[in-house]
Amino acid sequence: MGAGAEPHTSTARHGPGDPLGAGGQRPGPGYIGQVARAIAFVGDYNTSAMTYDIAIIGGGIVGLATARALLEKAPALKLVLCEKEAELGTHQTGHNSGVIHSGIYYKPGSFKARQCVEGARLMVEFCEAHAIKYDRCGKVIVATSQEEVPRLKTLYERGTTNGVPGLSMLDAAHVREIEPHVRAVAGIHSPNTAIVDYSEVTAALGRELVASGLTIEYKFPVSAITRVRGGGLAVSTPQHTITANKLINCAGLYSDVIARLAGANTEVQIIPFRGEYYFLRPERESLVRGLIYPVPDPECTLGYSGFWAMARKYWRTGAYEMYRSLSKKKFVEALQGLVPDLKGEDIIRGGAGVRAQAVRADGSLVDDFSIASGPDAIHVVNAPSPGATASLAIGRHVAGLATQTFGLV
Ligand SMILES: Cc1cc2nc3c(=O)[nH]c(=O)nc-3n(C[C@H](O)[C@H](O)[C@H](O)COP(=O)(O)OP(=O)(O)OC[C@H]3O[C@@H](n4cnc5c(N)ncnc54)[C@H](O)[C@@H]3O)c2cc1C
């Protein structure tokens, strides 16, 4: 609840002025997760212009975090970041719930679990070092019936196994001490979960990186990637070309398209899911002190492949129906299950964001973060929530991969 409310639906991602999306063409099925094949085509380019060591595609928080980690490892690196918009972080990074997640939910040992816990720590450190305001408001996950308690306990064990600091199980009285308006039989308290404005983080990253020597090419919608005769890659928009020896793809919603442009064999498609936000009216903010979440419901969570198979099959129409079913009325009813005093007029629409979620050819969800690497290119194929929290850890991981596969020192 509060800033964390995120119902979903799908939406067309191919907007006006978006060269890759023209005609809404989708790449076909292929292969994910291992080696990106060498870039396919050969062209002649004026190689007297500067050739960068690495071109990063995508100026969201993951691309920026990757640039930061690379420059930390190798400060002399000639790095360029290509962003199709006129500003950084205007897609997922600029339209999300702003939660610094703690890492409770994710499968122990997964990238998500490790990088969320590590990333949350790094994000707080970054905010403190750059005087970015964040609110360590804490979070409670609440069971509203006895049937939910075993699932709550399983979550608690997961969180503890994942190394989430400060977790505790709460009885009903303790839940009420933390969140007086919540109806619950038990809960988990995560005191370190926080809220931040990721746009501020992005802006600070951008300033720091430019000062460290990063070149940013704005309004640079990459639409072709070709191999240059004599070595290197040409990364082009319809108007411009830059050359670089290696490529890192952090293009979010378009990571599958960029991977295919670069010759990678990826079986996944990125499916866009739209999330609506609601805010509590300021005069009713006393209803919620921090973040309140229900125990995830295995019958309807998006993480279940049944839903995704359905969403994939019918995603043009079916998921729209899904969106319609998540009307404000239904949303309020769901919230009232947690906070009975809440009324429809207490919440107002706060905007929307589009999630990039990788889905396999069989319709199953790629649950974990997914990064594919090859000799010329690394592709961050799937970095959905908690990707903003985890970004600085993902960046370090990608920089480590680049060191190995690109032979950086
Ligand atoms: C509704 C919603 C709520 C969320 N809530 C949270 C949360 O509370 N906490 C959390 O940790 N995470 C949350 N997330 C997830 C988080 O926002 C993402 O994981 C994260 O922002 C991903 O960053 P990114 O850099 O990969 O993608 P993006 O921010 O989407 O950046 C990709 C960039 O690539 C650029 N690009 C694309 N194609 C091209 C091209 N051809 N040429 C050049 N540039 C290109 C785009 O313009 C964009 O700037 C949420 C996401 C959504 C949508």
**For residue 63, which atom of ligand 1 is closest to its CA?**
25
Q: Determine contact, residues 291/4, Cβ cutoff 8 Å.
A: yes
- The 10s digit of each residue's pLDDT in 379-403 is 999 999 999 999 999 999 999 999 9
SS3 263: coil
The pTM of the full predicted model, rounded to 2 decimals, is 0.87
Nearest to 374 by CA among 268, 265, 250: 265
Pocket test for ligand 1, best of 205, 270, 349, 385 (most atoms within 8 A of CB): 385
User: What are the phi and psi torsion angles at 53 (to 5°)?
Assistant: -70, -45
CA of 93 to the centre of ligand 1 (A): 4
Comparison of pLDDT for 100 and 300, the residue scoring more: 100
CA of 355 to the centre of ligand 1 (A): 7
pLDDT (tens digit per residue) in 64-77: 999 999 999 999 99
Model confidence pLDDT, tens digit, residues 249-269: 999 999 999 999 999 988 888
Contact residues for 58 (Cβ-Cβ < 8 A; gap 6+): 81, 82, 83, 249, 250, 251, 252, 254, 255, 258
The pLDDT assigned to 312 comes to: 41
The minimum-distance atom of ligand 1 relative to the CA of 119 is: 11
Q: How far is CA 42 from CA 227, 232, 376, 396, in A?
A: 5, 10, 14, 31
- What mean pLDDT, rounded, does the chain reach? 82
Cα of 78 vs centre of ligand 1, distance in Å, is 24
**Atom number, ligand 1, closest to the C-alpha of residue 220:** 43
| Alpha helices (H) along 303-378 | 305-313, 318-325, 328-336
Cβ atoms of residues 137 and 83 within 8 Å: no
- What pLDDT sits at residue 303? 45
Q: What's the 241 CA to ligand 1 centre distance in angstroms?
A: 24
Burial of 135 (0-12, 13-18, 19+ CB in 10 A): middle
Contacts of 85 (CB under 8 A, 6+ apart): 59, 91, 218, 219
Q: Which residues line ligand 1 (CB under 6 A)?
A: 6, 20, 57-63, 82-85, 89-93, 95-99, 101, 220-222, 250-254, 258, 275, 353-355, 383-389
Note the helical H segments in 172-222: 172-178, 198-211
Alpha helices in 146-285 (DSSP H): 149-161, 172-178, 198-211, 255-261
pLDDT category, 272, cuts 50, 70, 90?
confident
For a ligand 1 pocket test, name from 93, 260, 270, 369 the mutation site with the most ligand atoms within 8 angstroms of its C-beta: 93
pLDDT score at 278? 77
What pairs with residue 246 in β-bridges? 54
Question: What distance in Å separates the CA atoms of residue 193 and residue 290, rounded to the nearest whole number?
Answer: 9
Closest Cα to atom 51 of ligand 1: 96
Ligand 1 pocket test: pick from 92, 235, 254, 367 the residue with the most ligand atoms within 8 Å of its Cβ. Answer: 92
Residue tagged 């990074």 (tokens): 93
44 three-class SS: coil
Q: What share of the chain is helix, strand, coil (3-state, %, to 5)?
A: 35, 25, 40
